[in-house]
Amino acid sequence: MVLYLKLARFRVGSYVDWGVVVEGYICDRSYLSSLCGLELPNDLIQFLTHHELVSKVLKTLSNLQLDYCISLSSVKLLPPVPKPSKMVFIGLNYQDHAREVGAEIPKEPVIFLKPPSAIIGPYDNIVIPRRSRKVDYEGELAVVIGRRAKSVDREEALNYVAGYMVMNDVTARDVQKAISQWDKGKGFDTFAPCGPWLVTTDEIPDPHTVKITTKVNGVVKQDSGTWNMIFKVPDLIQDITDVMTLEPGDIISTGTPSGVGYVKGEFLNPGDVVEVCIDRIGCIKNKVVAGTTTT
């Protein structure tokens, strides 16, 4: 039935847990535990750090009975990683994007941080902050770290990856451009929609082979692929872990291709719907709503 793991966190009423997504259903942790004969951790990232447990769950997938699983339509999907210790984002990592904004091709990865408070789920609302009138989208591939990583060589880097998900690096361009650093314009609450689930590396052994598409109100705005990255995922992991230790559950968002809104003077408005899709992972879809405005 399934040869890899699509892992999601979800809520039904007051019940919050994680499970494996299969053919429109989510098979929750308790059911997976019964199939394995083991009690699986209630924390998804903790589960992913126990490779022998992951292997045992993988071996049970052919035995799943969807009658014992929950329809995806009846759950609320949550961010796959709710509380990373850090989120590292990469700027100007596609040549076409660097060209469209008039920037030089960087000689080493350009990094900035977003606070974990920016994270929202795959179908939650993006809120336009009261101090911005120029909110933009950036569809990206996000890497979730599965092992503590410090000073990792690029040849070993992919061994530290738990999986991949979709990310939208939402940005208030007017706030970003007002000062020399980017964190403020990119760090607002709701500015990191992600999900819809975490796809393990069994499904995507090479993260540089997937297509990224971003749509606003059904119109394609970004249409590219991770093969166009300037710095590949192993390069990013090596560079970042030379600077800081990455913990299990930390997120690296790998940069966006060309097609961002502000180059064309197009910004998000209340009522807009932004959809970011990555092949072999899935789509996130977020409605844009107004926050409290100033007078």
Residue 202's pLDDT is what? 87
Domains of the chain, each with CATH number or no CATH? 6-78 (no CATH), 87-290 (3.90.850.10)
Spatial contact of 229 and 37, defined as CB atoms under 8 Å apart: no
Residue 21's pLDDT is what? 96
Dump pLDDT digits (tens) for 20-36.
Answer: 999 999 999 999 999 99
Residue 46 has pLDDT above 90, yes or no: yes
Dump pLDDT digits (tens) for 229-260.
Answer: 999 999 999 999 999 999 999 999 999 999 99
The fraction of the chain above a pLDDT of 70, given in percent, is 98
Whole-prediction pTM: 0.95
Distance separating alpha carbons of residues 51 and 290, to the nearest angstrom: 43
Distance separating alpha carbons of residues 142 and 252, to the nearest angstrom: 6
Distance separating alpha carbons of residues 88 and 110, to the nearest angstrom: 10
Flag the least confident range among 47-51, 142-146, 207-211, 225-229. Answer: 47-51
CA count, 13 A, side-chain hemisphere, 3: 5
* pLDDT tier for residue 12 given thresholds of 50, 70 and 90: very high
Residue 2's pLDDT is what? 45
Quick one: CA torsion of 18, 277, 252, 183, rounded to 10 degrees?
-110
The fraction of the chain above a pLDDT of 90, given in percent, is 84
Residue 294's pLDDT is what? 43
Residue 1 has pLDDT above 90, yes or no: no
Beta strands 251-253 and 87-91 are parallel
Q: Cβ atoms within 10 A of the Cβ of 115, count?
A: 15
**Burial status of residue 205 (CB atoms within 10 A of its CB: 0-12, 13-18, 19 or more):** exposed
Residue 292 has pLDDT above 80, yes or no: no
Distance separating alpha carbons of residues 100 and 138, to the nearest angstrom: 13
Dump pLDDT digits (tens) for 61-90.
Answer: 888 999 999 999 999 999 999 899 999 999
Residue 295's pLDDT is what? 34
Of 25, 33, 83, give the one whose Cα is nearest residue 53: 33
